[in-house]
Amino acid sequence: MRMKPIRDRNPVAVSVVGLLVLALIGYGAYRADSLPFIGGGTTYSADFTESAGLDEGDEVRIAGVKVGKVTGVSLDGAKVKVTFKVKDAWIGNASTVGIAIKTLLGDKYLAVDPLGEARQNPDERITASRTTSPYDVTQAFNGLGETIGEIDTEQLAKSFETISATFKDSPPDVKSAAKGLSALSKTVSERDAQLATLLKGSKQLTKTLATKKSSFETLLEDGNLLLGEIQARRDSIHLLLTGTRDLGTQLTGLVADNNKQLKPTLKALGRVTAVLNKNRKSLDKVLSIAGSYNRLVGNTLGNGRWFDNYVCGVVPKDYLPANTPPATGCMPPKQEGGS
């Protein structure tokens, strides 16, 4: 049966089918990593007590080598469910998974330690007993600032004074300790405003670092590139420094070996310089005369491979042809010509 040409088909149906095909192709390209034959990899899941700032798309590493990425972070009851995909990596049934700090700016990655004798079943979730979360320094300082800010410094000072009064009749060592606590409480009370300002400044610094995160990352990456280039050029730099050192050694040896010959030569050169300086005026006069002489020689020899001169009054008048007056003035005749 002969197929009907496309130009004879219903254009609306052809357009709809074409749009559907394009949509499927676009969706397949967008979800290429999830396709079994193109994306590859195995998806696992693990329970954590907290996410610790881990985000979807963060790296998954084994022994520092990237083997996959985090595909999802979601809350599952009182725990956090993290799904991740790894490719060309073995995950054992006793493997441990931890959230590690990637940079000082708070970036995280998922660190997997492959342990166990059998392969981990992808359908079984890795329990929280085999996962760890990092200690977030930024959150700790923020919590410390909030806790200290809630302390009633006046009440704390009164408490320390009460303790000091209670131990008034105690041995000297206890009294000294109590007095120290009392002095500490007064210092804390007097510096309450400064401490609050310091904590506010710490919070502001943390916010500033968070906003400048990309700039710091770029700076660190550029620093890594610079160090890598220096590492790559290490041999060349070493050869340059070694060659410079050897050149200095050779020059030092050359001067030392020829010191006896160089010293008289330099003295003679100094005497020649002194003579030239003494006769500088005469040299200037000679050079000025030589300039005029060279100009005349140039005029004489500049027309070709011959001498171009004018000699006046050489032939006596008795030897001149008839009706030829003798030369007077000895000036060269004017050359006439035209173009």
The DSSP code sequence of 245-277 is: HHHHHHHHHHHHHTHHHHHHHHHHHHHHHHHHH
> What pLDDT was estimated at residue 93?
92
Which DSSP state fits 119?
Answer: B
Q: What's the sign of the alpha-carbon dihedral 322, 323, 324, 329?
A: positive
Please give the DSSP secondary-structure letter assigned to residue 67: E
| Whole-angstrom distance, CA of residue 97 vs CA of residue 112 | 5
On the CB side of 103, CA atoms within 13 Å amount to: 17
Coil, strand, or helix at residue 1? coil
Question: What pLDDT was estimated at residue 44?
Answer: 94
pLDDT of residue 82: 94
* pLDDT at res. 339: 41
pLDDT of residue 238: 80
Strands 108-113 and 59-62: what pairing? Answer: parallel
Give average pLDDT by consecutive 10-residue segment, the chain, 339 residues: 60 73 72 56 91 89 92 91 92 92 83 92 92 69 68 73 70 70 72 74 74 75 80 81 86 79 81 85 82 76 70 72 70 54
